Structure 1
């Protein structure tokens, strides 16, 4: 991502290693130091030792992507070097919770470009030759469904790791649930004097001790109906 030899890849590619062997496009092999990585987001930074005047990839903006746009995945699946596959952007902001990876709190670019073992950490490129994502995984039991980390998000991870040494994540320390018709009926039957005008929102089901939510005075049973004038109707 720069002429000094900074490389972006997946954390699961380099995790547990302090150094890796980097092969450039011309076959030249250089030692790369694993500068830092974040397992939760699966983003890693590798710095080529003695790297200088290298050709850097042109970075685009994943926020400019549109569903249906053509993209290219580049990698070495099955050790087949310099393999290119093409596809379209199938979905944007696919949430990790939809993939059974809720703890990651990530969003992904979904594509039908073939991504297999060996593509991990490789670039997802738009038709202008700009890197818009980092290929990271595929759906295990479905064809034509693969995922990439948006480059905007990946670069934010890089900035945080270099500034703080880790990725900072917001934490409220509370659990909430949508007030569905079933939940609403239960609340009205179990809580005397429950406000009859309250018909929607989210209810706080648990607050962790000494958490930001606790310090702000929030308690279990509180109902949130709006934030900054915007209605909150689901968790």
Structure 2
């Protein structure tokens, strides 16, 4: 690692998570090192100005500027595939047009208040102005789990669903008739055979509305709520043909 005084320090990788490209590195120094303030990625909006720092092509202390182009980009959006036999990842990325090249990976993506809101990770090959960073809230969660468990515990239930909005619910109700789809929640489109969700009683057409009676509106809320409960049973409340039903599912690890 390099600090402004150009003093070279030796780092030891204690834990690493290949899925998110995040690692915990221990650095020894005889004096205090400068730090940066960590912001939050929960309130980011497309169009906000950001700055990327790094050492592209070995050029240390390089700074590029741009905006947030999009949020919640999935690996599938980026054309990245999971290893054969592994389960689908829920990893999301910030898309930015700030120039990110080889050597920027691992550097901070910073807002105009000087707060780190992401960690630069990659760019679209052969494309200009399309680069990606891991949201800082996800980095905090990954680092916390690496520190506590030595690995990241990613939950798996075996579900595919869509986040309902009033507009989407109206369209679905118009097309299918019958029972009415609620205007909010996670509408289940597919349940994998012999999955925790199927064994727990969740069915296609259910709308997940809460986890242990805590309301859910987004995929991220569900994943975050399950992340610390891998290996445990949880109750999921669903709406099924206007009836509220409580299901009980065992949360498996995505790596199983």
2:197 corresponds to 1:216: no
Deviations 1:9-68 (A, max 9, x none): xxxxxxxxxxxxx22221111111101110011111111024652111111112232211
Q: Which residue of 2 aligns with 1:9?
A: none
1:174 and 1:207 in contact (8 A); partners too = no
Aligned with 1:130 (options 97, 115, 137): 115
Alignment root-mean-square deviation, CA: 2.6
**Structure 1, unpaired ranges of 5+:** 1-21, 178-194
Q: Which residue of 2 aligns with 1:206?
A: 192
1:123 and 1:131 in contact (8 A); partners too = yes
**Structure 2, unpaired ranges of 5+:** 82-87, 163-175, 182-186, 210-237, 241-256
Aligned with 1:111 (options 79, 96, 100): 96
Distance 1:160 1:61, change over 3 A: same
Deviation at 1:106, TM superposition (A): 1.0
2:192 and 2:198 in contact (8 A); partners too = no
Task: State which structure, 1 or 2, has the greater radius of gyration over its C-alpha atoms.
Answer: 1
Q: Which residue of 2 aligns with 1:13?
A: none
Q: Normalising to structure 1: TM-score of the pair? A: 0.71
Distance 1:39 1:58, change over 3 A: same
Distance 1:203 1:126, change over 3 A: closer
Q: Which residue of 1 aligns with 2:21?
A: 42
Distance 1:110 1:51, change over 3 A: farther
C-alpha separation in 2, matches of 1:64 and 1:170: 24
SS for the counterpart of 1:84 is strand
Deviation at 1:206, TM superposition (A): 3.5
Q: For this pair of structures, how many residues does the alignment match?
A: 188
SS for the counterpart of 2:9 is strand
1:134 and 1:150 in contact (8 A); partners too = yes
Deviations 1:105-135 (A, max 9, x none): 2111111000000100001111111111100
Deviation at 1:203, TM superposition (A): 4.8
C-alpha separation in 1, matches of 2:177 and 2:42: 43
Distance 1:230 1:85, change over 3 A: farther
2:56 corresponds to 1:56: no
2:191 and 2:197 in contact (8 A); partners too = no
